[in-house]
Amino acid sequence: MGKGEPYPTEHSAMSTAYEPGSASPSPAPEPDPWRHGWRYVKVHLPDGSYDLDQVPLTLEDVLHPEEGDHNLHCDGHDEDCRYLKSVLKARLANDSSALVLSDCRVDFGAPGVRPLGPDVAVFLGVGRVNDWVTFDVAAEGARPVLVVEVTSPDYWKNDFIKKVDFYHRAGVPLYVIVDSNESASRRKIDLYAYRNTPDGYESIELTDRRILLEPVGLWLEVTEGDVGERVSLFDPVSGREYGTYTQEFARAEAEQTRADIEQARAEAEQTRADVEQARADSQQARADAETQSRLELEDRLRKMTEELRLLRELT
């Protein structure tokens, strides 16, 4: 698999030791066959018609999905995927050739690799926009630049073993695994990352539980959320954290409210200034009127004085 440890050798919650001579452990309950989801399979009937039979998905079905499959995930998994997709789409919005897909069936066109369903995948060089159910990488002339899988104990082998090989063969340059432990009292996350080399994927040593997603220019970090740990994306220049849709919506609402308050304050100040100006104009008009009246009165007095003087001279 290349240099470094390609994946953890043990998953802490996967086995329990049993000592001889101790009480026999209770048999584990049978796992729910529907826990991964289901698909509908066409069943042909003797009369030539057909019916749809609902069958549970296996781990192999989850690894290689078919169109119309109904996959089931925990809420934390869905929140992480929605968050990553929305932020990555916003980050790449100015690149018309960029495409971000989540839980979409992808045919990478690699020999021996059947279509996969990456949690989040980023492609460049896409020439058109379409509502893909299956994205054919070769047919669209695209190239994958990043895949992120949000895993859990049930899908551990798929993400850490099989997909490490498949994504390398598919030419994905950076593969990141968000390893989520949903069985803990609070959600715990570990990050693993792999860089594509000619000899296979090389494990990337991470510090501070974060990795630079070079193809999109963002830091991916483990942060604290409402029900435990979650992943967050940060701008590497400003250090600004990109919030979830809910957080960004609330932030936009708060900024709009602040803008509305500032606008209302500015309008009130303008109204006050207009009133002051109107008062000043009124006072000036009154003063001008008084001055004009005084001048007119003085002119009349002057004329009357002149008339009296002329009358005296005549008499």
Instruction: Say if CB 153 and CB 187 are below 8 A apart.
Output: no
pLDDT of residue 144: 97
For residues 255 and 264, give the distance between their C-alpha atoms in angstroms, rounded to a whole number. 14
Sign of the four-CA dihedral 296, 299, 301, 304: negative
How many other CB atoms are found less than 10 A from the CB of residue 136?
Answer: 15
Phi/psi at 100 (5° precision): -120, 120
Per-residue pLDDT of the chain (315 residues; tens, 9 = 90+): 444 444 454 433 333 333 444 455 566 667 788 888 888 998 888 988 889 899 999 889 888 999 988 888 888 888 999 999 999 999 999 999 999 999 999 999 999 999 999 999 999 999 988 999 999 999 999 999 999 999 977 888 899 999 999 999 999 999 999 998 866 678 899 999 999 999 999 999 998 899 999 999 999 999 988 778 899 999 999 999 997 656 655 666 677 778 778 888 888 889 898 889 989 888 998 988 899 989 989 888 998 888 888 888 887
Count CB-CB contacts under 10 A for residue 135. Answer: 21
173, 53, 56, 153: which is closest to 108 by C-alpha?
A: 173
DSSP structure class, residue 187: B
The predicted pLDDT at position 186 comes to: 83
Sequence-separated contacts (24+) of 229-233 with Cβ below 8 Å: 229/186, 229/187, 229/188, 229/189, 230/76, 230/79, 230/80, 230/83, 230/187, 230/189, 231/80, 231/83, 231/84, 231/150, 231/178, 231/189, 231/191, 233/83, 233/84, 233/87, 233/88, 233/91
* C-alpha–C-alpha distance, residues 173 and 201, integer Å: 9
Q: Return the CA Rg of the chain.
A: 37
Q: Which residues of 282-310 are buried (b: 16+ CB within 10 A; e: fewer)?
A: eeeeeeeeeeeeeeeeeeeeeeeeeeeee
* Alpha carbons 59 and 154: distance in angstroms, whole number: 8
- Please give the CATH topology (third level) of the domain spanning 63-243: tt1808, chain A (3.90.1570)
Distance CA(291)–CA(305), nearest Å, equals 21
Q: Tell which residue, 162, 192, 190, has the closest CA to residue 175.
A: 192
Q: Which two tokens stand for residue 52?
A: 């749809």
Minimal CA–CA distance to 194: which of 176, 171, 179?
Answer: 176
Which run of H or of E encompasses 55? strand 50-56
Written as six digits, the tokens of 203 are 């494990």
Tokens describing residue 217: 């220019």
pLDDT at 245: 55
pLDDT for residue 306: 84
Q: Which residues contact 234 (CB under 8 A, 6 or more apart)?
A: 218, 219, 221, 240, 241, 242
* E strand or H helix that includes residue 247: helix 245-314
